[in-house]
Chain A
């Protein structure tokens, strides 16, 4: 059960520690069902922290999104820890970052929030449209309760949960320094039905499907920026010389961009679904990423983001890896 008082107390204690820079959690947004990442630096800022079905953001992104500015003369680098609140899926991102040595284990303090599933904003906003004031929500006996201005509304999970949550295999954080409350039951199994559905179509149909989606891409790169696994200091998409993918917006470049992005996540994507959530034009990006996750699982029995001691998929090999298509 979510215990907000405990969460706030833990946050206060954590940020009071000398070796913690700040804590990243969630706070209620400015309107509707939105939630904003909340950076707690002083104990009294912990009051705003929440944990509810609205907390979709994967905060592990902020571990690698921090800008490291050049130090001033005589300035020492800040080596204090960042405390991070994680759901099950978010924790896999942290593990994968550890596997790739993108972050050090000593630089993070992980606070685990076992999670009963978060909402799909589109589904909820369709159900309860036009909410200019902030609306809170909570889990209650397998349902989600929204505190709307005209009274509480109880909704079955199936109607409002994000697709990734309905088939979630890891609702409990897989790595923590501190678990906030007891673990929840694993909900589903994942058979990659959405991927199989598209695989069953002909190549021509698949091309048309993706052409329609990729044409609408505006190349805002929000999918890249929000991704906790996209943290190259020098992204190939920003390169001008050589420009592997041109900046111009057309179906050729957009497809190249999406292929490059998806492929960079092969064997790394932990399926948090943030890319699809943030996409302003609604490209079903998890369908693309999950195809690779499915192949990685079937071909190499590899699931990213579970064991911090494991090696990254693409920088390891087995001499007897399958090679049926190679001439």
Chain B
């Protein structure tokens, strides 16, 4: 592994140099929401946070994306331009692992050119999570505060400087492009960073043993638990839209006058019209089925298809659910439920 260091007084230059070469995204406030947005020259990203409100998937898999434009009476379509080279700065390790999970979906049976092109051209610079939030449970889902999966480079805040751990070729390119700002990291720095992340991991209070859950879920398909979990559910899209691994989308045509576009947009399995058939029949007619599907998709179906759980333990769905539907509570009851 290659370790470098950038001191905090040079960090402003570091950001400016990144922004010059590629389109730089970093956590910034919009309204009350913290999300990844392009960094305007001179503006400072927010780097002190447990996690962003909106996960970085909003850059790689935007909420609304034009697939092509068309005109009535004309068979030609026009495709959107090529994706720009981008850098995401300040991605939490859990969210980076989520991108690795989403990757397996979008490159599954059919390659998704829109997502994969953007993914290929985007470098993810992670930021070790030294102050885990109340509901973080990444360590239960195979991650950790300094997990490197899905990242190209991991930054760790050492107090006076950031430690840069280069992980991939894309990360190496970033490294070279800013090398005049970097200094060699000493062995103590690396040890210190490891100590910090160990301490952070020890501060994670919530969690669950996920072993056996994927096998257990199909067995309790008809359990009355699902009714209990979903009774207070409002059927909104908070838990799915803000989940870093949720990747469902809808495709709609939007017309104005004679021009239109075909675009895809985030969709949520918690909405009733998600499974609504044209006939009016809905195979998931109530929130019970929809809640059951959400949990099963993450902890059972995805495991069958890709061999990994589609949850990284970022805690967003727990933090933001208005009626305190707590995925850890659900899972622990699933474990306890007799077959």
Contacts and interface: CB of A to CB of B under 8 A. Distances in A.
Direct contact of A and B (CB under 8 A): yes
Interface residues of A, number: 49
A91 B32 CA distance: 30
A224 B238 CA distance: 12
Nearest to B288: A67
A15 interface: no
Nearest to A125: B134
Contact of A281 (B31, B205, B328): B31
B48 to A, nearest CB: 14
Contact of B325 (A32, A36, A62, A240): A36
A226 interface: yes
A316 interface: no
A32 B134 contact: yes
Contacts of B33: 216, 218, 280-282
B44 interface: no
Given A222-B238, A281-B53, A216 B324 contact: no
Contacts of A212: 30-31
B206 A248 contact: no
B235 A282 contact: no
Contacts of B237: 218-222
B77 interface: no
Counting contact residues on chain B (CB < 8 A from A), the size range is 35 or more
A221 B328 CA distance: 24
B35 A220 contact: no
Contacts of A61: 234
Contact of B35 (A216, A219, A246): A216
Contacts of A215: 30-31
Contacts of A327: none
Contact of A31 (B54, B231, B272, B326): B326
Interface in A26-49: 29-32, 34-39
B286 A282 contact: no
A132 B134 contact: yes
A186 interface: no
Interface string B233-273: 01111100110000000101010000000010110100111
A252 to B, nearest CB: 11
A36 B135 CA distance: 16
Contacts of B254: 243, 246, 248
A237 to B, nearest CB: 10
A262 B54 CA distance: 24
A277 B265 CA distance: 25
A238 interface: yes
Given A32-B134, A37-B231, A248-B263, A283 B322 contact: no
B323 A57 contact: yes
Contacts of A69: 285-286
Contact of B234 (A214, A225, A243, A247): A225
A131 interface: yes
Contacts of B326: 29-31
Contacts of A131: 134
A248 B323 contact: no
Contacts of B328: 30
A11 to B, nearest CB: 16
Nearest to A65: B234
B31 A283 contact: yes
A131 B134 CA distance: 6
Given A36-B323, A216-B35, A248-B64, A222 B236 contact: yes
B287 interface: yes
Contacts of B324: 29-30, 34-36
Contact of B322 (A62, A218, A278): A278
Interface in B40-99: 53-54, 63-64
A29 to B, nearest CB: 4
Nearest to A214: B31
A130 B134 contact: yes
Contacts of A29: 324, 326
A216 B242 contact: no
A140 interface: no
Contacts of A250: 64
A219 B318 CA distance: 19
21 contacts: A31-B135, A65-B235, A69-B286, A131-B134, A132-B205, A212-B30, A214-B31, A215-B31, A216-B30, A218-B241, A219-B63, A221-B271, A222-B237, A238-B273, A247-B64, A249-B64, A249-B266, A278-B236, A281-B33, A281-B54, A282-B33
Given A213-B32, A224-B236, 17 more contacts: A32-B134, A36-B325, A39-B231, A67-B286, A70-B285, A214-B31, A218-B54, A218-B63, A220-B237, A221-B236, A238-B273, A243-B252, A246-B252, A280-B320, A281-B33, A281-B54, A282-B32
Interface of B: 30-33, 35, 53-54, 63-64, 133-135, 205-206, 228, 231-232, 234-238, 241-242, 250, 252, 254, 263, 265-266, 268, 271-273, 285-287, 318, 320, 322-326, 328-329
**8 closest A-B pairs by CB:** A282-B32, A222-B236, A281-B33, A278-B322, A220-B237, A216-B31, A29-B324, A216-B33
Interface of A: 29-32, 34-39, 57, 61-62, 65, 67, 69-70, 129-132, 212-216, 218-222, 224-226, 238, 240, 243, 246-250, 274, 277-278, 280-283
